[in-house]
Amino acid sequence: MKNKKKLVSLKPNHSDLNGSGRGGLEGLIRKSAKKHGTPLMLISKEALRKQYETLKRSLSNVEPFYAIKANPHPEIIKTFIKLGSGFDVASAAEMDTVLKLGASPDKIIFANTIKSNADLARAHKRKVTLMTFDNEAELYKIAKFCPNAKVLVRIKVDNTGSTVELSLKFGADPDQAIFLLKKAQSLGLKPMGVCFHVGSQCTNVENYMRALDVSSAIFSEAKKLGLNLTMLDIGGGFPIRHFDGDGHITIKHMAKLIRKKLKRLFDKGTRFIAEPGRFFSGPAGTLVTQVVGRTFRNNKNYYYLNDGVYGDFSGTVFDHCRYQFKTLRRGHKFLSTLAGPTCDSFDIISLNEDLPELDVGSVVYVKNIGAYSCASAVPAFNGFPPAKIVMV
């Protein structure tokens, strides 16, 4: 960006945007808020790179396909293109976005199991041939509008302990997988393998273990019937830390168990891919807001911020996410409520937060909020725009 050097002239350690180093981060917040105003979403390219390299190092035999729904900002996509990532898209619009930014069609998976005829025709025209499905009717559509496509059957798997359940809406029953793969073959499609998703922000590694067992059984049965499956998509769900004190399982430990299972259950030539979204973009984002009003109600300090659940705190609704709120203020903490700026009573971000005494103009910021926040924000509900995104 044109103003990048000025914005980061204090040269903070970019791990500050997804880890420690409060002083450097708060200095960056002060300078950025003064320069750009608030609300403001700071996205660290270094944190994006770090997350990508962490996953590649942890699961070296798995190719990442960034799920751009987590945060489709062009600079984020371009960063992952340079790093060599593939992309998980759910619509023709997302597909066009990554292609226009320089991604190759063979680095894209159309991972929505329900696709419109027009989007399938668009994929065929743009030479995007790898896609998922979970039902027979979808196969007829794919065969008609995207002939010769390479398809993965998505199966329903356990999502126990995941923040967002993703097997409620998608996924064929595993005992239907072979029938569906054979049906794909009969329609002139290329059945490549199996995909699953254990749920977003998954802290229960057993979800992966059971899903890999089920997938392996499908591979084995398919082989007996003359179907040589060569690809497994293990989806996303890798957890990140939203709070400084989070003690849930880490990607390092989770990946160790997944690697062992992949090696034991699948042939050496199997291609493994994954669809990380939150894991890549979540730790890269820091949201900077300011208090625009205050009162005292229900025996608590009550602060109105210039961003809310219709904006970049939309993750509290759509992502079932809880955030750790920090301030530039020091001092004794008091039970407080945080609300957004709209005149809708639903726009309450958190009812119970321990915060120091704040004034109008005080900064409240949140780390690890780069995913499912600005991406799902309403463009201008009540006339309040989402935060300005600045890459640092």
Q: Please provide the DSSP assignment of 182-217 as one string.
A: HHHHHTT-EEEEEE----EEE--THHHHHHHHHHHH
Mark whether 374 is an active-site residue.
no
**Structural domains in the chain plus CATH codes:** 4-44+285-391 (2.40.37.10), 45-281 (3.20.20.10)
Residue 22's pLDDT is what? 67
pLDDT band, residue 1 (cuts 50/70/90): very low
d(CA 242, CA 278): 11
Q: Is the pLDDT of residue 8 over 60?
A: no
Q: Kindly state the helix (H) or strand (E) to which residue 297 belongs, with its residue range.
A: strand 285-297
pLDDT of residue 6: 33
Q: Which tokens is 360 given?
A: 């109008």
* pLDDT tens figures, 145-158: 999 999 999 999 97
Supply φ then ψ for residue 208, to 5 degrees.
-65, -45
The Cα 377–Cα 381 span in angstroms is 9
DSSP, collapsed to helix, strand or coil, labels residue 117 as helix
Q: Which of 146, 195, 202, 343 is catalytic?
A: 343
Tally: H helices and E strands in the chain: 12, 18
354, 335 in Cβ contact below 8 A?
Answer: yes
Provide the pLDDT for residue 4. 37
Residues 177-236 pLDDT 10s: 999 999 999 999 999 999 999 977 777 889 999 999 999 999 999 999 999 999 999 998
Report d(CA 20, CA 142) in Å as an integer. Answer: 48
Name, in order, each residue with C-beta under 8 angstroms of 283's C-beta and a sequence gap of 6 or more: 17, 18, 19, 47, 50, 51, 240, 241, 367, 368, 370
What pLDDT does 15 receive? 46
Main-chain phi, psi angles of 391, to 5 degrees: -85, 135
- Is residue 192 within 8 Å of residue 230, measured between CB atoms? yes
Confidence of residue 7 (pLDDT cuts 50, 70, 90): very low
The answer on pLDDT for 125 being more than 70 is yes
